[in-house]
Amino acid sequence: MSRARSELISAYISKVYMRFRLLDTQMSHNYVARGFGGGNLLCAGGRIKRNAMSEPNDTGDGDESRVREQSRLLKERIARAQGLRNAAEGRNPEQTAAQNMSGLGRAFRLGTEFIAAILVGAVVGYLLDQWLHTSPWIMLVMLLVGFAAGVLNVARAAAEMNKAAPVPPGSDLGPGEDDE
Amino acid sequence: MADPNKVDPIHQFQITKIVPFGDGGFAFTNSALFMVLAVGLILAFLILSTGRRAIVPTRAQLMSEMLYEFVANMVRSSAGTAGMKFFPFVFSLFMFVLVANLFGMIPFFFTVTSHIIITFALAALVFAVVIIYGFWKNGLKFLKLFVPSGIPMYILPLVVLIEFVSFLSRPISLSVRLFANILAGHITLKVFAGFIVTLGSLGFLGWLGALLPLTMTVAITALELLVAALQAYVFAVLTSMYINDAIHPSH
């Protein structure tokens, strides 16, 4: 949750920067006043100025290169943002999600996963028994299957949570490569 | 309350008819009223707060943007970019459960999600979406969900049976978790609040002793607010995980 929050805050800050186009320290020429070509404005000011000056044969003037430079920077920023997003997606799907559950949420999840599977097994068995007139045999078998499915559910949920949880510092993770 | 020793913690879950439709037993109930109120509040809030679309957001706009980002990140991290086409679905579920849960925390309000039929209907909707989209997208490959890879043939039937039961148990656990949390929390709250009244009938010392359940009631109210938000979150997270299964059926 804190990650999403910090992302939001940075998104908000960049929004403010975009609006005022003042404080972005990545581009030094932003400190030039806007009317003289400062800031990120790709539009009116620069163009008008260029037309007014109307220097012949001056195709490579500062404006054009400035625009190029800015679009390059913009491209870099977009690439960086996309990289961050891709990195977020490359992680194990359940990882970040399970991380954010509190202890109460996790405990309830494990409990209900287990009980629900047993209930489903018993109910399915009961209905099959009613249908095939074999009471109570299928129900007994399905109760056991449901138990197995419950254990599977819990093991799966716990594995997700274990994968998500960071390893506590200083914990012994068993013999590793760097051991003697 | 006429008799202070008679506290009925279940009474708050009773469904009453507000506007009956004919004699068939159909009616606009208090449950339906609060569902409409919840949806109305969500709609009003989102439409009004995002109406101006300001670059520098107001507090309300920032709040709905945060809600959007929160759910979008959740869906993206659980189900990937392919899961984002289910974003409106997950967002609607999240907002509905959240607002319904929080409505339940207001005194004299009916808690929609304290009835298992509501939560089961939501879970069944999720699974209808998962199954239909899974078969539509993957065809029969969707059945791979029940066949983990690398299992020897002789044990496969048993494993498939277990996986099948495990799959069937998901909507049950999804709905029971939400319903049980809300129901248990509200009953506990009511019982502790009832202790205050009961003790209070004993006179001054009773009122003094009633401070203890009063403290508990305040603490449980805070806990219930947490549970309300948490369970909405858990519901939405698991929904997006199950949608991920529909998109990528192999384990």
Residues found in chain A = 180
Which residues in chain B touch residue A8, judged by CB atoms under 8 angstroms apart? Answer: 65-66, 69
Provide the pLDDT for residue B58: 87
Task: Output the CA torsion sign for A163, A165, A166, A168.
Answer: negative
SS3 B20: strand
d(CA B231, CA B242): 16
Provide the pLDDT for residue B56: 84
Q: Where would I find the H helices in B3-86?
A: 30-49, 59-79
pLDDT band (50, 70, 90) for residue A51: very low
Residues found in chain B = 251
Q: How many contacts does A have with B, using Cβ atoms within 8 A?
A: 120
Q: Average of pLDDT values for A63-71?
A: 86
Q: Out of B56, B165, B240, whose CB is closest to A146?
A: B165
Provide the pLDDT for residue A34: 47
Do residues B114 and B183 touch, judged by C-beta distance below 8 A? yes
CA distance B38 to chain A (A): 24
Provide the pLDDT for residue A82: 76
A15·B74 Cβ contact <8 A: no
Q: Rounded to 10 degrees, what is the CA torsion of B197, B12, B16, B122?
A: 170
Q: At what angle do helices A103-132 and B156-200 cross, to 10 degrees?
A: 120
Sorted by sequence, the CB contacts under 8 Å of residue A140 that are 6+ apart come out as A125
Residue from B208, B165, B68, B8 nearest A117 by CA: B165
B56·A116 Cβ contact <8 A: no
Provide the pLDDT for residue A8: 67
SS3 B21: strand
Q: Is pLDDT above 90 for A177? A: no
A96·B234 Cβ contact <8 A: no
Q: Where would I find the H helices in A32-177?
A: 44-53, 62-90, 93-99, 103-132, 137-164
CA distance A150 to chain B (A): 7
Q: Which two tokens stand for residue B226?
A: 């947490």
Sorted by sequence, the CB contacts under 8 Å of residue B135 that are 6+ apart come out as B142
A5-27 pLDDT, tens digit each:
666 666 666 665 555 444 444 44
A105·B56 Cβ contact <8 A: no
Q: Which residue has the tokens 């920067």?
A: A17
B241·A94 Cβ contact <8 A: yes
DSSP H or E run through B29: strand B26-29
Provide the pLDDT for residue A163: 76
Provide the pLDDT for residue A44: 41
Determine contact: A164 vs chain B, CB below 8 A: no
CA distance A88 to chain B (A): 7
Instruction: Tell me the domain boundaries of chain A.
Output: 2-90, 94-164
Provide the pLDDT for residue B181: 92
Minimum CA–CA partner of A120 in chain B: B169
Q: What value, to the nearest 5°, has the Cα angle with vertex B155 and ends B154 and B158?
A: 130
Which residues in chain B touch residue A19, judged by CB atoms under 8 angstroms apart? Answer: 55-56
Residue from A125, A123, A128, A121 nearest A147 by CA: A121
pTM score of the predicted model: 0.72
Provide the pLDDT for residue A50: 43
Provide the pLDDT for residue A14: 61
The b-or-e profile of A19-33 (16+ CB within 10 A means b, else e) is eeeeebeeeeebeee
Q: Out of A18, A109, A149, whose CB is closest to B55?
A: A18
Q: Is pLDDT above 80 for A101? A: no
Distance of CA B196 to the CA centre of its chain: 29
Q: Rounded to 10 degrees, what is the CA torsion of B136, B140, B143, B148?
A: -120
- Backbone torsions φ then ψ of A10, nearest 5 degrees: -70, -35
- Backbone torsions φ then ψ of B29, nearest 5 degrees: -95, 175
Provide the pLDDT for residue A153: 93
B163·A152 Cβ contact <8 A: yes
DSSP B140: G
Q: Which two tokens stand for residue B227?
A: 């549970």
Which residues in chain B touch residue A98, judged by CB atoms under 8 angstroms apart? Answer: 237
Instruction: Tell me the domain boundaries of chain B.
Output: 11-247
CA distance B39 to chain A (A): 25
Do residues B234 and A110 touch, judged by C-beta distance below 8 A? no
Provide the pLDDT for residue A58: 47
d(CA A89, CA B96): 27
Minimum CA–CA partner of B168 in chain A: A120
A134-174 pLDDT, tens digit each:
988 999 999 999 999 999 999 999 888 887 776 667 777 66
CA distance A58 to chain B (A): 37
Q: Is pLDDT above 90 for A59? A: no
B234·A101 Cβ contact <8 A: yes
Which residues in chain B touch residue A101, judged by CB atoms under 8 angstroms apart? Answer: 230, 233-234, 237
Which residues in chain A touch residue B240, judged by CB atoms under 8 angstroms apart? Answer: 97
Residue from B150, B164, B155 nearest A145 by CA: B164
Low-confidence ranges of chain B (pLDDT < 50): 1-2
SS3 B19: strand
- Amino acid letter, A24: D
What ipTM was estimated for this complex? Answer: 0.79
CA distance A180 to chain B (A): 34
Instruction: Tally the C-alpha atoms within 13 A of residue A137's C-alpha that lie toward its C-beta.
Output: 4
> Which has the minimum average pLDDT: A42-51, A79-88, B211-220?
A42-51
Mean residue pLDDT of chain A comes to: 70
Q: Out of B162, B170, B230, whose CB is closest to A102?
A: B230
Name residues 67-106 of chain A within 8 A of B (Cβ).
Answer: 85, 88-89, 91, 93-98, 100-102, 104-105
